[in-house]
Amino acid sequence: MITRLSHLFLRTLRDDPADAEVPSHKLLVRAGYVRRVAPGVYSWLPLGLTVLRRVEQVVREEMNAIGAQEISLPALLPREPYEVTGRWTEYGDGLFRLKDRKGADMLLGPTHEELFALTVKGEYSSYKDLPVTLYQIQTKYRDEERPRAGILRGREFVMKDSYSFDLDEAGAKASYHAHREAYQRIFDRLGISYVVVAATSGAMGGSASEEFLAESEIGEDTFVRSPESGYAANVEAVVTPAPPSRPIDGLPAAVVHETGSTPTIATLVDWANGADLGRTVTAADTLKNVLVKTRVPGGEWELLAIGVPGDREVDAKRLEASLAPAEFELLGDADFAANPFLVRGYIGPKALLANGVRYLVDPRVVPGTAWITGADEQGKHVVDLVVGRDFTPDGTIEAAEVRDGDLAPDGRGTLVSARGIEIGHIFQLGTKYTDAFAVDVLGENGKPVRLIQGSYGVGVSRLVAVIAEQMHDDKGLRWPASVSPADVHVVIANKDEGARAGAESLAADLDARGLDVLLDDRPKVSPGVKFKDSELIGVPLTLVVGRGWADGTVEIKNRFDGSTREIAADDAVSEILTATGRGSR
């Protein structure tokens, strides 16, 4: 196909859009791929739509290759199935809810575990039909709290979601692994640099899950890995290695001290090291109690205290993941006023437990460990407060920050962190949804068998932004051939009629060989502007028909390495076929 820039519905912009912070967002808007309609809601213009479709196609081919079958469910859904699983409420503010004219509750689907379970239940009734994997590539809706970076985090976005249904655990595992490998092939074909990391299951429920993160400094996810062991996990999923409990017998008694004005960990440590406690104290010897309030969607706010070693902060994302689907907020002045037993800067386990505040501690706070912590009075702390002797928390929570240099949870090596963008997520759901809808088939022995479900998502529209993010330079986009909006960008850079006709005939030859050609045939646009646009648009190869045409030469520019080669016009078609991998050998 030949796409002519003289007719293409495209306006490139010289300036970055005011609301764009990350390169992919700026470039996709400037190069005329997408346009904003509302926060997190975007239109796809011709070049953008072509790339989106090509990404979709790679995903589709790899899904089909593992035997998954494409179907399409509605995005407009009734409340009932989501009510049955509790997600109508649990999804909280992230769900787009609406009413139809009769007043019935409906929603715009954020993900379709319920509907796929029901769809399989509707059609299949015998073990002979299983296993089955179904998928769709469909528009999803989530009222994201912070839509961001254009199509990277949209409120409307395209997802490939697939769901496997198996008769037994072994089958479920095989389906999971087939997806894992399909995802690796997809992201390899797209030329993305990514890691596979252990993940939490979040609002989805279920057991094992892994995320595919595209490595990127602008990513919202932080992951850690141990180069020594190959361990890799989203920080949200890092399980803190707990030290063994210690014997309590013989430990010194807890003593309350006047510590003066010591409302911060640093001031407390200073006091402790001047107080002649007979040892050197560091922040890690103190127990910091952080107060938040939490609520399950639709429920009441409740106080929650989190005890972490004083050398660590509470990581909001880890806390959020641990509490999901409940949400949390930091306590405000009014909350402190309403709970006078909370003495800011001096909060200790005693008052928390005496007042029925749920108190969860970091896994390092094991029985037999002694801490310096608040004594619930202004200017007072307690030293040698021993877990299991002087107080017993309600449980543990993964909320403390994970730091570079921390011991890897598998005990081998230390952690280093980096940032990434989630591009795919695979879950073993177990029977959470099939239980909810009693999705059974008749087994071989005549007894009903509950199906085991898996759920697997790829952010198709997000991938367009991720590829742009990983592959661009200061001049513009640089698409990999697998998703580029065209195979070759032919630029007519000469007013001469002969050159124009020559470019037209080269474009026609390339088209005849099955290549997608973007032809810059705009009559009144200068070569300089055309070159700038071609760099901005980012097709891997540009063929320039310009000054050299009269001498029988043209130029091939490679957008990836920036190289330019002058070649004989007669060789142009075969050179381009070779460069695009379509050449006959």
Residue 144 contacts ligand ATP per CB under 6 A:
yes
State both tokens at 309: 């070693």
Which amino acid belongs to residue 15?
Answer: D
Please measure the distance between the N-terminal and C-terminal CA atoms of the chain and give it in whole angstroms: 23
- Say how far apart CA 45 and CA 32 lie, in whole Å: 7
Please state the closest distance from residue 422 (CB atom) to Mg ion, in A: 5
**C-alpha dist (Å) from residue 454 to 62, 119, 433:** 17, 14, 10
Q: Contact with ligand ATP (CB under 6 A): which of 81, 154, 409, 476? A: 154
- Say how far apart CA 562 and CA 141 lie, in whole Å: 39
Please state the closest distance from residue 144 (CB atom) to ligand ATP, in A: 5
State both tokens at 11: 């306006």
- Say how far apart CA 489 and CA 561 lie, in whole Å: 16
**Which partner from the list Mg ion, ligand ATP, none does 467 bind, CB cut-off 5 to 8 Å by kind?**
none
Residue 153 contacts Mg ion per CB under 5 A:
no
State both tokens at 285: 């010897």
- Say how far apart CA 335 and CA 62 lie, in whole Å: 53
Please state the closest distance from residue 220 (CB atom) to ligand ATP, in A: 6
**Which partner from the list Mg ion, ligand ATP, none does 157 bind, CB cut-off 5 to 8 Å by kind?**
ligand ATP
Q: Which CB sits closer to Mg ion, 455 or 553? A: 455
**Which partner from the list ligand ATP, Mg ion, none does 159 bind, CB cut-off 5 to 8 Å by kind?**
ligand ATP
Residue 142 contacts Mg ion per CB under 5 A:
no
Please state the closest distance from residue 206 (CB atom) to ligand ATP, in A: 12
Residue 422 contacts ligand ATP per CB under 6 A:
yes
Helices first, then strands: H and E counts in the chain: 15, 32
The residue range among 13-21, 55-63, 279-287, 419-427 that interacts with ligand ATP, by the rule CB under 6 A, is: 419-427
Nearest residue to ligand ATP, by Cβ distance, number only? 459
Residue 318 contacts ligand ATP per CB under 6 A:
no
Residue 423 contacts ligand ATP per CB under 6 A:
yes
Treating both helix axes as pointing N-terminal to C-terminal, what angle do 460-470 and 23-30 enclose, rounded to 10 degrees? 100
How would you write 380-446 as a 3-class SS string? EEEEEEEECCCECCCEECCCECCCCCCECCCCCCECEEEEEEEEEEEEEEECHHHHHCCCEEECCCC
Site track 58-97 with ligand ATP (rule: CB under 6 A), x = hit: ----------------------------------------
**Which partner from the list Mg ion, ligand ATP, none does 538 bind, CB cut-off 5 to 8 Å by kind?**
none
Residue 153 contacts ligand ATP per CB under 6 A:
yes
Please state the closest distance from residue 213 (CB atom) to ligand ATP, in A: 9
**Which partner from the list Mg ion, ligand ATP, none does 23 bind, CB cut-off 5 to 8 Å by kind?**
none
Q: Which of residues 104-123 bind ligand ATP (CB under 6 A)?
A: 111
Which amino acid belongs to residue 419?
Answer: R
Q: Which CB sits closer to ligand ATP, 113 or 390? A: 113
Residue 54 contacts ligand ATP per CB under 6 A:
no
Q: Which CB sits closer to ligand ATP, 154 or 409? A: 154
Closest CA to 461 of 115, 22, 28, 23: 28
Closest CA to 498 of 542, 543, 549: 549
**Which partner from the list ligand ATP, Mg ion, none does 374 bind, CB cut-off 5 to 8 Å by kind?**
none
**Which partner from the list ligand ATP, Mg ion, none does 350 bind, CB cut-off 5 to 8 Å by kind?**
none
Q: Which long-range contacts (C-beta less than 8 Å, at least 24 apart) are formed by 98-105?
A: 104/78, 104/79, 105/78, 105/79
Q: Which CB sits closer to ligand ATP, 112 or 489? A: 112
Q: Which CB sits closer to Mg ion, 110 or 538? A: 110
Contacts of 387 (CB under 8 A, 6+ apart): 361, 365, 366, 367, 368, 369, 370, 371, 393
Q: Which CB sits closer to Mg ion, 45 or 197? A: 197
Total residue length of the chain: 585
Q: Which CB sits closer to ligand ATP, 212 or 346? A: 212
Q: Which long-range contacts (C-beta less than 8 Å, at least 24 apart) are formed by 438-442?
A: 438/121, 439/117, 439/118, 439/120, 439/121, 439/165, 441/124, 441/125, 441/126, 441/127, 441/129, 441/130, 441/167, 442/125, 442/126, 442/127
Residue 506 and residue 543 in contact, taking contact as beta carbons nearer than 8 Å: yes
Q: Which CB sits closer to Mg ion, 424 or 540? A: 424
Q: Which CB sits closer to ligand ATP, 110 or 349? A: 110
Site track 412-441 with Mg ion (rule: CB under 5 A), x = hit: -------------x----------------
Q: Contact with ligand ATP (CB under 6 A): which of 225, 312, 462, 557? A: 462
Residue 358 and residue 303 in contact, taking contact as beta carbons nearer than 8 Å: yes
- Say how far apart CA 292 and CA 341 lie, in whole Å: 15
**C-alpha dist (Å) from residue 209 to 363, 427, 456:** 22, 4, 9
**Binding residues with Mg ion: total (CB under 5 A):** 1
Site track 367-406 with ligand ATP (rule: CB under 6 A), x = hit: ----------------------------------------
State both tokens at 457: 């998502």
**Which partner from the list Mg ion, ligand ATP, none does 393 bind, CB cut-off 5 to 8 Å by kind?**
none
Residue 459 contacts ligand ATP per CB under 6 A:
yes
DSSP state of 313: P
Residue 307 contacts ligand ATP per CB under 6 A:
no
What residue has token string 């469910």? 73
**Which partner from the list ligand ATP, Mg ion, none does 144 bind, CB cut-off 5 to 8 Å by kind?**
ligand ATP
- Say how far apart CA 28 and CA 476 lie, in whole Å: 9
Residues that bind ligand ATP (CB under 6 A): 111, 142, 144, 153-154, 157, 159, 422-425, 457, 459, 461-462
Residues that bind Mg ion (CB under 5 A): 425
